[in-house]
A = this chain, B = another copy of it.
Amino acid sequence: MRAKIDDVAKLAGVSKTTVSRVMNKRGYLSDKTIKKVHDAMEELNYRPNVVARQLFKQETKLVGLIFPTVDNPFFGQLIASMEKILFKNGFKTLIGNSMNDSEKEKKYLRDLMAHQVDGLIVGAHNQGISEYDNANLPIVSIDRIVNDDIPVISSDNYQGGILATKLLIDNNCKVIIHTNGPQELKTPAQNRRLAYEKTMRENGLKPIVYTLDFNIGYDQKDRFFRNIFKEHPNVDGMFLSNDMDAAQVRDIASELGYQIPNDLKIVGYDGADTTRILLPDLTTIVQPIDKMAEEAVKMLIERMIDNGAGRDKVIPVKLHRGKTV
Which residues of chain A have a CB within 8 Å of any CB of chain B? Answer: 25, 27-28, 60, 62, 69-73, 76-77, 79-81, 83-84, 87, 92-97, 104, 111-112, 115, 218, 243-244, 247-248, 251, 273-275, 277-280
CB distance from A310 to the nearest CB of B (A): 24
**Which B-chain residue is minimally distant from A80 (CB atoms)?**
B71
CB–CB B73/A80 < 8 A: no
CB–CB A76/B83 < 8 A: no
**Which B-chain residue is minimally distant from A117 (CB atoms)?**
B92
Complex CA gap A94/B111 in Å reads: 13
Q: Which residues of B contact A104 (CB under 8 A)?
A: 87
Q: Which residues of B contact A27 (CB under 8 A)?
A: 28
CB distance from A270 to the nearest CB of B (A): 11
**Which B-chain residue is minimally distant from A279 (CB atoms)?**
B278
CB–CB B94/A93 < 8 A: yes
CB–CB A83/B62 < 8 A: no
CB distance from A205 to the nearest CB of B (A): 30
Q: Which residues of B contact A275 (CB under 8 A)?
A: 278
Q: Which residues of B contact A97 (CB under 8 A)?
A: 80, 83-84, 87
Complex CA gap A25/B24 in Å reads: 11
CB–CB A70/B87 < 8 A: no
**Which B-chain residue is minimally distant from A245 (CB atoms)?**
B277
CB–CB B96/A112 < 8 A: no
A70 touching B62 in the complex, CB below 8 Å, given contacts A27-B28, A95-B93, A247-B278: no
Complex CA gap A104/B70 in Å reads: 21
Q: Which residues of B contact A96 (CB under 8 A)?
A: 83, 87, 92-93
CB–CB A115/B62 < 8 A: yes
Q: Which residues of B contact A280 (CB under 8 A)?
A: 251
Complex CA gap A92/B117 in Å reads: 12
Q: Which residues of B contact A84 (CB under 8 A)?
A: 97
Q: Which residues of B contact A111 (CB under 8 A)?
A: 92
A248 touching B274 in the complex, CB below 8 Å, given contacts A70-B83, A95-B93, A97-B80: no
CB distance from A100 to the nearest CB of B (A): 13
CB distance from A269 to the nearest CB of B (A): 14
A244 touching B278 in the complex, CB below 8 Å, given contacts A111-B92, A112-B92: yes
